[in-house]
Amino acid sequence: MFSSKLCCIKGFSSSPLLALKSFTCVLIDSSQGQCTVTNTLAAQCKSKPQRQVCKTVLKHFDAQYSEELGEQWWSARDVLLNPLSWQYGVLLNRFSDLANLRQCLTGLGYTNLLPQTCPESQSHTTHMHLQCFIHRDPVRIPTQGHHSGWLKQYYLLNAASLLPVLTLNVKEGENVLDLCAAPGGKSLAILQAATPGLLHSNELDKHRYDWLLKTLESYFPPTLRHLLSVTHLDGRSIGSMRPGAYDKVLVDAPCSNDRSWLYTPDTHQGEMWLKERTQLPLLQKELLCSALAAVRPGGVVVYSTCTMSRAENQSVVEAVLASYQGVELLDLDQQLIDSLSDHFYFAHLRPSVGQLVIPQKGKTWGPMYVSQLRRIY
């Protein structure tokens, strides 16, 4: 099912360096605010219909987020309304040959998001393997297609989505549960950060479960396949099914994804999603409680979403802390936050229940909310 070969992509040179140099990329001219397209994508860019903003969702966001975030919302709004400015980090796959890829990314102006420091001097030693390259300008290199039996070299993602994995701080040999794992980016990042004793990646939705399987097949070698367990279960039941079985649990909960919902295809769909939004906090609380049951005493649970909504973020964590005995809220590692502050804009939450990254001009990564809890007994 798996192979350690590099992903073979139609039209790519056999040399990763030459292949990257021939990438067809969409670049944003920050001074003109215009789309500059190289090579054969020019005609496609002109003919491709632009995504339309759902005015119903935008009106709702304006009312909610101007109250919750104040002036910070209007800067975030400008970024969210300009999809061409959304940046993509390049998460490298340590299980493939990366020598020329690193060199080429550096030549294209990419830098490593995370400093590669000596283990003796840092608490987050397991992040030594994890490498995500980012660009100061909005640039996206092409995705690599899935081919059975071949391993990809990189995975494109919003760099802020690495924050939950960095906060989880997985160490070698730990048993880890990714409760809502699809499409698989955070499971992949966990495997880049450390080699767990077991990584249990779970996804309830059948379509997304199939997507998760394909992602893991594309990046993880067959020799380590025994370290993975991929299931199709209701995450709310895993805590009772496997109590105290894990050292670390990640709950990247289903949420009202701000970026996706702004571009809902039609007004009717937007209205349906806004009604669904009111039901999400209950589901999120149930998932977080299941995660706390699944982690061992002394173990850590990280709760995250990709929305700025207070009801789905701080309020969920506060409600669980109030109702679930034997749990304490942990402060996020200040050293980690400081190391990312040049790239992410961390909003100040009141009360301080977790950290919220919101997209700002010049720091377009986000949205991403993260909170860390420890089970005491």
Catalytic residues: 306
CA angle centred on 170, ends 166 and 174, rounded to 5°: 165
Sheet of 139-140: strand order equals 34-37, 26-29, 139-140
- Are the C-beta atoms of residues 14 and 3 closer than 8 Å to each other? no
Q: Can you tell me which residue has the tokens 């005491």?
A: 376
Query: Is 275 annotated as contributing to ligand binding?
Result: no
Is 11 marked within a binding site? no
Q: In what order do the strands lie in the sheet with 154-157?
A: 110-112, 132-135, 89-92, 154-157
Tell me: is residue 234 an annotated ligand-binding position. Answer: yes
**Does residue 203 have a known ligand-binding role?**
yes
158: helix, strand or coil: coil
The DSSP code sequence of 256-268 is: --HHHHHT-SSHH
Using DSSP, state whether 336 is helix, strand or coil: helix
Q: Determine the Cα–Cα distance for residues 32 and 345; give it in Å rounded to an integer.
A: 24
What region does 109 belong to: left with phi over 0, alpha with psi -120 to 50, or beta?
Answer: left
- Please report, as a single letter, which amino acid is at residue 45: C
Structure tokens at 71: 């002036």
Give the C-alpha separation, 44 to 213, whole Å.
31
Judge whether 258 is annotated as a binding position. Answer: no
Q: Kindly give, in sequence order, each residue whose CB lies less than 8 Å from that of residue 206, ignoring residues fewer than 6 positions away.
A: 232
Residue 180 assigned as binding residue: yes
181 known member of a binding site? yes
In three-state secondary structure terms, 251 is strand
Q: Is 173 annotated as a binding residue?
A: no
Give exposure, 209-245, as e/b (b: 16+ Cβ within 10 Å). Answer: bebbbebbbbbbeeeeeeebebbeeebbebbeebeeb
The binding site for S-adenosyl-L-methionine comprises 180-186, 203, 234, 252
The binding site comprises 180-186, 203, 234, 252
